C-alpha cells in the first residue's frame, strides 16, 4: 500500500490544482496545489518558475493554505525540496494569511515515498509565524530544525516509509505549546526508520505539548513495541484519539492495550490496518469507546516464515 491519491481537502478546505495563466480567486476558502507536471519538467520548466508566475496574480494575501506537489524531477529523486522552501520563504510577504502548508503531496505513480528528497524545512516556521498546520511527506534529508519558532502550530504530520531517529528527536525537542494533533509515520528500518519506542519517552511521559489530544504513531514495523509503551504512558490520560494504525500490530500489542486501564478513557482508538486475530478484534470492539479495527491483514508466509508489513512501504 502507498499513497495513491492526491489531497482533495486540506485544512478543512477543498484543494484546487492551480493552472498556469489562471489568476487565483480572492477566496479564503480555496487551497491551491502547486505542482510541476511531468510535461512541464520535460520542457525544462522549473517549479520555481511556475511559482513565480503564480506570484504575479493578485489576491495572494487571501490565501490561507498551500499544497505543494511534485517539484523539479522529484519523481526521479534527483532534486530536493530546498529550492521550494527557499522560494516560499522569499515570498513570505505575499502570503500574510498563510496558516497551512503541505509539502510533498506526491503519489507513488509520481515518486515512491522513499525517493522523495526533502530538505531543512525549518525556515518555513520562521517565515510564517502564524502557521497552524504543517504536513510533509518523505524523510530523505528531512530536518524540522529546533521547532522553537512555531508557537501557533496546532497540527504536525510527518509521513514516511521510515522516519529517521534524528527527526523523531527533533520532534521530542520541540516547543509547540499549541500543538493539538501529532501524527508520525515511523515506518520500517528498511527505509530509514531507525527509532524505537524508547526514543518516544519524552512524549509518552506527558511532558510535551500540553494541548495534545490526538496522537498518531502510525505505520510502524514495531507496532507491538509501540503499543506496549503507549499502553501505560501518562500521555494517554489527556488524549481523545490514539492512532496506532497502518502498522504491524498483532494480538501481542493489542493485548497490552486491552490490559491498560488508561485506554478506556479515550474517545477513539484507531487500529485500522493490523494483524490481529478475529478473537482479538472482538475483544477490542467490546471496549466502551470507538475502536477502528478495519482492514485486517494476514501475515505473508514464505519458506515457512511469517512476515508482517506496515501499510506505507514498497
DSSP characters over 97-117: T--EEEE----TTT--GGG-B
Q: Which residue has the cell 515457512?
A: 304
Q: In this predicted structure, what is the pLDDT of residue 276? A: 98
Question: In sequence order, what are the residues at sequence separation of 6 or more whose Cβ sits closer than 8 angstroms to the Cβ of residue 24?
Answer: 18, 30, 32, 54, 57, 58, 59, 60, 63
Q: In this predicted structure, what is the pLDDT of residue 73? A: 61
Question: In sequence order, what are the residues at sequence separation of 6 or more whose Cβ sits closer than 8 angstroms to the Cβ of residue 109?
Answer: 4
Q: In this predicted structure, what is the pLDDT of residue 295? A: 97
Rg over alpha carbons for the chain, rounded to the nearest Å, is 20
DSSP assigned state of 216: E
Q: In this predicted structure, what is the pLDDT of residue 77? A: 46
Q: In this predicted structure, what is the pLDDT of residue 55? A: 95
Q: 278: burial class by Cβ within 10 Å (0-12, 13-18, 19+)?
A: exposed
Q: In this predicted structure, what is the pLDDT of residue 23? A: 83
Dihedral Cα 99, 102, 103, 104, nearest 10 deg: -170
Mean pLDDT, each 10-residue run in order, the chain (314 residues): 86 93 78 92 90 93 95 67 97 96 94 92 96 96 91 97 96 96 96 93 95 98 97 97 98 98 97 98 98 96 88 82
Nearest CA to 61 out of 94, 31, 32, 29 is that of 94
Q: In this predicted structure, what is the pLDDT of residue 72? A: 87
Q: What are the distances in angstroms from CA 212 to CA 216, 237, 238, 312?
A: 11, 11, 7, 25
Q: In this predicted structure, what is the pLDDT of residue 75? A: 46
For residues 157 and 7, give the distance between their C-alpha atoms in angstroms, rounded to a whole number.
14
Q: What are the distances in angstroms from CA 219 to CA 36, 71, 120, 150, 271?
A: 28, 25, 23, 26, 10
For residues 287 and 37, give the distance between their C-alpha atoms in angstroms, rounded to a whole number.
47
Question: In sequence order, what are the residues at sequence separation of 6 or more whose Cβ sits closer than 8 angstroms to the Cβ of residue 19?
Answer: none
SS3 48: helix
pTM above 0.85, yes or no: yes
DSSP characters over 222-237: THHHHHHHHHT-GGGG
Q: Is 45 left (phi over 0), alpha (psi -120 to 50) or beta?
A: beta
HEC assignment per residue over 269-298 = EECCCECCCHHHHHHHHCCCCEEECCCECC
Q: What are the distances in angstroms from CA 283 to CA 21, 254, 278?
A: 57, 9, 9
Dihedral Cα 261, 263, 264, 267, nearest 10 deg: 160
For residues 105 and 311, give the distance between their C-alpha atoms in angstroms, rounded to a whole number.
17
Domains of the chain in start order, with CATH, are 1-138 (3.80.10.10), 144-314 (3.80.10.10)
Q: In this predicted structure, what is the pLDDT of residue 1? A: 53
Amino acid at each position: 500500500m502507498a499513497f495513491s491519491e492526491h489531497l482533495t481537502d486540506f485544512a478543512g478546505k477543498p484543494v484546487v490544482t492551480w493552472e498556469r495563466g489562471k489568476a487565483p480567486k480572492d477566496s479564503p476558502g480555496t487551497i491551491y496545489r502547486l505542482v510541476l507536471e511531468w510535461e512541464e519538467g520535460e520542457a525544462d520548466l522549473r517549479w520555481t518558475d511556475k511559482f513565480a508566475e503564480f506570484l504575479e496574480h493578485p489576491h495572494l494575501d487571501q490565501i490561507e493554505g498551500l499544497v505543494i506537489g511534485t517539484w523539479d524531477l522529484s519523481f526521479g529523486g534527483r532534486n530536493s525540496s530546498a529550492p521550494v522552501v527557499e522560494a516560499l520563504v522569499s515570498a513570505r510577504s505575499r502570503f500574510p494569511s498563510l496558516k497551512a502548508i503541505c509539502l510533498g503531496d506526491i503519489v507513488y505513480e509520481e515518486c515512491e515515498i522513499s525517493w522523495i528528497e526533502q530538505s531543512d524545512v525549518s525556515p518555513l516556521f520562521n517565515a510564517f509565524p502564524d502557521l497552524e498546520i504543517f504536513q510533509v511527506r518523505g524523510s530523505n534529508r528531512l530536518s524540522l530544525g529546533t521547532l522553537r519558532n512555531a508557537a501557533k502550530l496546532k497540527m504536525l504530520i510527518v509521513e514516511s516509509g521510515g522516519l529517521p531517529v534524528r527527526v523523531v528527536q527533533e520532534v521530542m525537542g520541540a516547543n509547540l505549546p499549541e500543538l493539538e494533533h501529532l501524527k508520525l509515520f515511523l515506518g520500517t528500518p528498511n527505509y530509514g526508520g531507525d527509532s524505537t519506542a524508547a526514543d518516544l519517552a519524552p512524549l509518552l511521559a506527558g511532558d510535551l505539548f500540553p494541548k495534545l489530544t490526538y496522537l498518531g504513531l502510525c505505520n510502524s514495523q514495531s507496532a507491538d513495541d509501540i503499543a506496549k509503551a503507549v499502553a501505560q504512558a501518562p500521555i494517554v490520560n489527556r488524549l481523545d484519539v490514539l492512532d496506532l494504525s497502518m502498522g504491524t500490530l498483532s494480538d501481542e500489542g493489542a493485548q497490552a492495550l486491552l490490559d491498560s486501564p488508561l485506554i478506556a478513557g479515550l474517545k477513539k482508538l484507531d487500529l485500522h490496518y493490523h494483524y490481529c486475530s478475529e478473537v482479538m478484534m472482538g475483544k477490542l470492539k467490546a471496549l466502551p469507546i470507538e475502536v477502528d479495527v478495519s482492514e485486517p491483514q494476514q501475515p505473508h508466509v514464505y519458506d515457512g516464515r511469517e512476515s508482517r508489513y506496515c501499510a506505507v512501504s514498497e
